[in-house]
Chain A
Amino acid sequence: MATLVSKRRVVGKMLGLLVLLLLWFSIQPLRAQPLAPEVCLSCHGVAGLDKARDGKKISLQVDGQAFARSLHAPLGCGACHSDASAVPHPPELKRVDCSACHAQAATDFSDSVHGKARENKDGDAPGCAGCHGSHDILRVKDPSSKVYPLNLPRTCGSCHGDPDLAKRHRIPVANAYQLYMDSIHGRALTRSGLLVAANCGSCHGAHRILPALDPNSSVHRSNVPATCGQCHAGVVRTFSAGIHGKAASDGNSKAPVCINCHTAHEIRRVDMEDWKVEIVRECGVCHAQSLRTYRDTFHGQVTSLGFTRIARCSDCHGAHEILPVSDPNSSVAPARIVETCRKCHPAANASFAKYDPHAEPANRTRNPLLFYSSRFMSGLLASVFVFFGLHTVLWAGRALLLRRRKAARSPEDREPPPAGESSPGEEEKQ
């Protein structure tokens, strides 16, 4: 009996469960079934669908074909527009929240200069869609993606090539896009399509872009060598061993890092003539006295005229591996100077290397003979020019005076000249 009762109970429970299941499945279409894109596009695929928000007309049209090609097509519309689960949907939908899936990217972005600006209701600052696109979003590696390495500069440049926008937002580099496109990186990217060429993101990062003055920024002075070193590893190794690199890593804010000599955006080929000429002046921004004394030499005069086949700073001191003269490994250390001179002057010897490429005529202790020669020559020039200058002025004055007197006097009127005047011979002279 008992078993019969229990059997009945089991069947009853199963039936109840079945009813519940049937009920569950029957309400599913009403509950969370995402709308098929075709349903949404029956309205949003129509051109001219728009509405006014804050007095501005915004388009509500979606390119259905682009969406079908996009990375997010399999997710349908409701994955992002979760509050549009039924037709008709509420008149104002929530903003699409990418962080629901892309949590890390969203956290990084909220730290970034763009994210902060958006927090401050800056309408110009890009959100996710600003760079990635919205319905047409593609994988980063897709060559059609707005953030594909070869396309990224143009995407960033849509804002960072606009001087007015830069002025509005006090962005220090107003034409980063134009500068970059002319740079060696930009040309490698646009002309040769080199994926390894640095694009905006290579240095600034993607989501967590920080202003250059932020010590955590990849383009903050202290981080620049490491950032460049991601590609230019060998150069950064020599740079770090040199006097500039050491000073920079010791936190000396005056020590130059990569961008001080090469600039940040308009980095040029180092074998271009104009760069070779300008880099000398660049060294002189800090090493003013060395530049001045260099300009007094033949080397410096020739480069000043714009010719480069002559010793420039880096030919003797090195470029990245610059070491102080006190370091025995330095190219200008006493032990190695002859070898350095020989790069251009094959016949150079120890006596030759006594030439001072930064001689200072005004410095008696450093260049005594030059000092006295300079003093003597200055004295000679001054005395000759003062002496003969006066001689000439007096002579010109006298000659002009006599000429005027002679012209004023008529030929018949030959009265004797005033006392202390010229000799009779003077009068005959014509």
Chain B
Amino acid sequence: MSSPTPAHDDVVHSEPFLRSLMRRQLSLSIACAATFLVALLGMPLLNYFAPAFMATRVAGFTLSWLILGILFFPFVWIISYVFIKRSIALEEAEAKAAQDGLTK
């Protein structure tokens, strides 16, 4: 084997650990990204197919303007809050699992 990586046969350096690590992180990121992309990419579609509805006046704003100009920002905050909470928890769980594996 010409690989310069020295052989580590513990849990942390095993292929299954890396795979589960990347899969769990990526699925969290994709779940959050999907929520946000549905909203972001859905807005032009709503504007396109339901212009009259999106032009409804809400307290002076058109619905479309209210969503994009104001409500979108808190929405993005919520997604990033949820992501950060979960990703820190995920890292803690992973670190713990790896350490448990090492001491076994």
* Binding between chains A and B: no
